[in-house]
C-alpha cells in the first residue's frame, strides 16, 4: 500500500492488545498513513477526534502460516480418507482445472481469511492463483509456487522449468496483483513441496534462490508416518503417489538412492545441508527429540496445523516441546480441503483444547495463543520487524473484535474472550486501510 501523508487517525477501543507490551484498557492506536505512530491510553490523546469502536478488542492482524488457497473450492470433498488416498483424490479432482477455476477457488479462500482476521498468509500454490486471491482480498501474503522433482540428475532441468514458470507468472500478473507485488503486500517465492517429493539437489537450488531474493522457503516437513518411513527406508504405497505427482515411473521412484538411509525427514534435510533458517516448515508432526533440537539450532520457523493433522489422522505436533526449544511457531489452517474452515483463531482454539486434553501439563494461556497468532508467527516467517504487533513504526494491520454481547465479566477478560469464543471480528485493517468493515469485505481494493 502506498503511504499517504495524512493527518493522524486515532482509533479507540475498550481494549488494545499490542502483544509485545501490556494490554491497555481504554486504549488508542494512533495511525499515520499506513503505519502505527503510537499506542497509548486514550486519556493521553488530548483533543483527539476518535474513530471509536467502543466495547471491543483491538489485536494485531492474525497470521495464517499454512494454506493452499487454490483448493478452497474442494472444501469437505472427502472428510474420511486416510492421507495419501485423500491427496491422490485431491490431485485427480483439481490439477486439470482451467485458470479461471483456480482463481475462483483461491479468491473464495482469501475472502474467508480476511473475514476471519488473517492479514498475513503463507500459502503454497500449485497454480499461483492464491496470489491473485490474496491481492484481491486486500490482505498480505507470501505465496510459494510449488516445486516437485525427485530425480537428482534432472534437478537442474526441473529448476529451470520452475524459473520459467515463475517468470511467466510474474509477466502475466494483472494490475491488481502487480500493484500488490509493487507495494510489497504480496511476495512470490518457491515452495519445494516436501522432502519426499523434491530431491535434495532441487531443494538446495530453491533455498539458494530464495536466500538471494530475501524470501522465505515454504515446505511441508514430517507431516505423516508414511513420509518418515519412505525417507528412512521405503514405503511402496507412496511410490505410486510420487509417480503421479512428479511424472516419473514407479520403478524410477522406487530406485531413488537419496532415501533409505534410516534418517528422519529433519535429519535427511540436515544431512544434505538444507535446513536453512529462512525455511517455514508446515506441520512438523513426526519429530524425535533430536529433530526438535535440529529445528531449534537451524532457526527454522514452523506452522502448527492441528485440525488438518487431526482430520488426516496424522497425529499431534509436539507444540510445547518446539516452543520450549525456542522454535518460532505460528498456526496454519492448511487448505479448506483438509480442515473445517480457514479461521486461524479457530485453529488456535482447537490447538489449546487439544493440547490440554492430551497433556495435563500444558501450561500455555490465552495470551500465548495470541502471541502465536501474531508476533510469534511473524518471527517464524521472518517479517517481525514490520508486522505482528501493535508497535510504533510497524504497519497498521489490526483486527477489531466486538465484546458487545458478552457478559460483564467476560468483557474484562479480553484474551479469554478472543480465544475461547464469543468475540466476533467486525473490522480488519491492513496498512491502515479497511479490508473488512462491519463484517463485510470492503470494496476499497480490487
Ligand atoms: Zn499443505
CA of residue 161 to ligand 1 center, whole Å: 22
Q: Angle, to 10 degrees, between the axis of helix 225-232 and the axis of helix 236-246?
A: 90
CA of residue 29 to ligand 1 center, whole Å: 35
For the chain, list the domains and their CATH numbers: 9-60+388-441 (2.30.40.10), 62-380 (3.20.20.140)
CA of residue 143 to ligand 1 center, whole Å: 12
Region of 142 please: left (phi>0), alpha (psi -120 to 50) or beta: beta
Higher confidence at residue 162 or residue 405? 162
Q: In what order do the strands lie in the sheet with 329-331?
A: 217-221, 279-283, 301-304, 329-331
pTM surpassing 0.85? yes
3-state secondary structure of 337: coil
β-strand partners of 27: 13, 41
Cell 516452543, located at residue:
323
CA of residue 168 to ligand 1 center, whole Å: 24
Q: Of 151-165, 242-256, 321-335, give the lowest mean pLDDT range.
A: 242-256
Say how far apart CA 292 and CA 358 lie, in whole Å.
Answer: 20
Q: What is the mean pLDDT of residues 154-167?
A: 98
Beta-carbon contacts of 143 under 8 Å, excluding residues fewer than 6 positions away, are: 123, 124, 125, 128, 130, 131, 134, 186, 187, 188, 189
CA of residue 68 to ligand 1 center, whole Å: 6
Say how far apart CA 179 and CA 173 lie, in whole Å.
Answer: 9
Are the C-beta atoms of 219 and 229 separated by less than 8 Å? Answer: no
3-state secondary structure of 249: coil
Q: Angle, to 10 degrees, between the axis of helix 155-171 and the axis of helix 200-212?
A: 40
Give tens-digit pLDDT for 233-276.
999 989 988 998 899 999 999 999 999 999 999 999 999 999 98
Q: What is the mean pLDDT of residues 361-377?
A: 97
Beta strands in 393-437 (DSSP E): 398-402, 424-430, 433-437
Give tens-digit pLDDT for 45-85.
988 899 999 999 999 999 999 999 999 999 999 999 888 88
CA of residue 218 to ligand 1 center, whole Å: 10
Say how far apart CA 391 and CA 201 lie, in whole Å.
Answer: 41
Q: Is 60 exposed, middle or buried (0-12, 13-18, 19+ CB in 10 A)?
A: buried
Are the C-beta atoms of 223 and 286 separated by less than 8 Å? Answer: yes
Give tens-digit pLDDT for 286-310.
999 999 999 999 999 999 999 999 9
Per-residue pLDDT at 1: 46
The helix (run of H) or strand (run of E) holding residue 1 is none
Amino acid at each position: 500500500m502506498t503511504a499517504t501523508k495524512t493527518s493522524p487517525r486515532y482509533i479507540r477501543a475498550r481494549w488494545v492488545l499490542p502483544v509485545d507490551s501490556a494490554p491497555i484498557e481504554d486504549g488508542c492506536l494512533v495511525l499515520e498513513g499506513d503505519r502505527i505512530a503510537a499506542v497509548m491510553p486514550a486519556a493521553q490523546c488530548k483533543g483527539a477526534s476518535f474513530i471509536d469502536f467502543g466495547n471491543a478488542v483491538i489485536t494485531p492482524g492474525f497470521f495464517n502460516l499454512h494454506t493452499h488457497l487454490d483448493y478452497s473450492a474442494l472444501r469437505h470433498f472427502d472428510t474420511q480418507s486416510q492421507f495419501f488416498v485423500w491427496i491422490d483424490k485431491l490431485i485427480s479432482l483439481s490439477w486439470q482445472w482451467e485458470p479461471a477455476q483456480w482463481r475462483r477457488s483461491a479468491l473464495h479462500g482469501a475472502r474467508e481469511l480476511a473475514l476471519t482476521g488473517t492479514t498475513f498468509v503463507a500459502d503454497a500454490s500449485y497454480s499461483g492463483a492464491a496470489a491473485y486471491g490474496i491481492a484481491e482480498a486486500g490482505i498480505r501474503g507470501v505465496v510459494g509456487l510449488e516445486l516437485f522433482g525427485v530425480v537428482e540428475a534432472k534437478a537442474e532441468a526441473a529448476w529451470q522449468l520452475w524459473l520459467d514458470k515463475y517468470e511467466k507468472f510474474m509477466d502475466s500478473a494483472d494490475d491488481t496483483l502487480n500493484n500488490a507485488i509493487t507495494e510489497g503486500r504480496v511476495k512470490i517465492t518457491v515452495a519445494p513441496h516436501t522432502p519426499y517429493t523434491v530431491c535434495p539437489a532441487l531443494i538446495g537450488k530453491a533455498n539458494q534462490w530464495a536466500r538471494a531474493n530475501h524470501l522465505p522457503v515454504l515446505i511441508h516437513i514430517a507431516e505423516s508416518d508414511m513420509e518418515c518411513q519412505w525417507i528412512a527406508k521405503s514405503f511402496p504405497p507412496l511410490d505410486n503417489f510420487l509417480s503421479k505427482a512428479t511424472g516419473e515411473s514407479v520403478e524410477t521412484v522406487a530406485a531413488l538412492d537419496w532415501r533409505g538411509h534410516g534418517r528422519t525427514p529433519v535429519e535427511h534435510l540436515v544431512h544434505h545441508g538444507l535446513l536453512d533458517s529462512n525455511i517455514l516448515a508446515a506441520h512438523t508432526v513426526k519429530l524425535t527429540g533430536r529433530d526438535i533440537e535440529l529445528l531449534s539450532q537451524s532457526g527454522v520457523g514452523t506452522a502448527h496445523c492441528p485440525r488438518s493433522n487431526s482430520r488426516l489422522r496424522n497425529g499431534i505436533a509436539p507444540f510445547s516441546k518446539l516452543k520450549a526449544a525456542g522454535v518460532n511457531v505460528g498456526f496454519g489452517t492448511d487448505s479448506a480441503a483438509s480442515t473445517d474452515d480457514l479461521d486461524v483463531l479457530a485453529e488456535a482454539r482447537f490447538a489449546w483444547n487439544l493440547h490440554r486434553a492430551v497433556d495435563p501439563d500444558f501450561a500455555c494461556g490465552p495470551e500465548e495463543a495470541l502471541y502465536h497468532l501474531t508476533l510469534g508467527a511473524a518471527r517464524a516467517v521472518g517479517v517481525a520487524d514490520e508486522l505482528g504487533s501493535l508497535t510504533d513504526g510497524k504497519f497498521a494491520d489490526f483486527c477489531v473484535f466486538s465484546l458487545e454481547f458478552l457478559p460483564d465479566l467476560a468483557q474484562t477478560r479480553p484474551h479469554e474472550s478472543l480465544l475461547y469464543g464469543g468475540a466476533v471480528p467486525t473490522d480488519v485493517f491492513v496498512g491502515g486501510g479497511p479490508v473488512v468493515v462491519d463484517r463485510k469485505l470492503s470494496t476499497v481494493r480490487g
